[in-house]
Amino acid sequence: MNQALTIPDAVRLFLESLDKIPTQLPLNIDNNFENSVVQHLRHIVPQQKVSPAHFDIVDDRIVISKTPSQPLDAATSISNAARSELACQGEVLVSQLSQTNCDKRLLENITKLHEQLSNKDDIVRLGIANLGCSMMCTAFENELPSAIAAQLKAYTVGISMYVGQFEEWHKFSDNASSLKLDNANIDTIQNSAEILIQALKSRPDLADPEVPKLISYIKRFIDSPSKSSVQAGFALLRTLENLIIRVYQYGTDFLDDFIVKSSKALASSGSKLAAAALLTIAVNGAVELMPVAVSIKGSEWIANATELVAKQISLIK
């Protein structure tokens, strides 16, 4: 694969390539079109996967999308009752912790965990946050009053039991438990995350600020090569993968619409710039992630898709 481009260079090349595409195609397009890059990308790029985060693109801007979770056996009333009780416990704990001299990081994480539970955030995201908080509670246990330490342990155990009622968490945990991520793998995932975080933070016109914040939040839970850290590493991997999936789908739709339908809306200068910039950001993150992705079942697609997308941006004939 060619060396990763800078965003300005990629934007320029991408716009030049689009300008060379005819705005109208003959009605009798031959069967070779079925073998085009667009069709290959549609075949290769999967749907977003079970992950702490899912994404959408609205008005040429990537945002976090809500994904409702359903308890196993549709035990909604039981699940809601458990969540309400845990939310009450969390509110008490946040109040009690704020009156102690506990480490600010512990208070911040428990507060965030309580907010996620109360707001019915993505169940996998809640489970990963709970793993991180459980590890922190253990680390700071000796610095807390025994009663509060016991309450914290009960709270995190309760949330663990709560997320265990959801099929998404079981599927995610089963996939994570089958992985063998070492320090080098986790470093690679973190490096890819940092590339995407910095690129998205620098372009609020292309990404809701909550997107890089969420990636940073998930990244924080990677600590050591323990079982929990492997789950956190897998959570970060799947989060980045979902972001790349959505951007590649958006880019594919853009190219398809531009070539086949000659959409004036998509062919506008602003949309061209947005498509080129988002694709370049995703490609640069994907290139960093590939050494790990190629060895993980279900993520191998990233290499082939990124090759195709990169060629669309850079190979000008």
pLDDT in tens, 267-295: 555 677 788 889 999 999 999 999 999 88
| Contact residues for 37 (Cβ-Cβ < 8 A; gap 6+) | 255, 308, 311, 312
pLDDT of residue 259: 59
Calpha distance 262→246 (Å, rounded) = 22
* Better-predicted residue by pLDDT, 17 or 123: 123
Q: How far does CA 261 lie from the centroid of its chain?
A: 31
Phi, psi of 116, rounded to the nearest 5 degrees: -65, -40
Q: What interhelical angle do 227-256 and 269-293 show, nearest 10? A: 140
pLDDT in tens, 185-199: 999 999 999 999 999
Contact 314, 5 (CB under 8 A): yes
Calpha distance 77→40 (Å, rounded) = 44
pLDDT of residue 226: 56
Would you state the torsion angle of the CA atoms of residues 241, 244, 250, 255, taken in this order, to the nearest 10 degrees? -120
The pTM of this model reads: 0.77
Contact 55, 65 (CB under 8 A): yes
- Window from 5-14, 146-155, 207-216 with minimum mean pLDDT: 5-14
Segments of the chain assigned E as strands: 54-58, 61-65
pLDDT of residue 150: 92
**Sequence ranges of the domains in the chain:** 7-68+173-314, 72-165
Tokens of 244: 């790349």
**Residue 18 in this model has a pLDDT that exceeds 80:** no
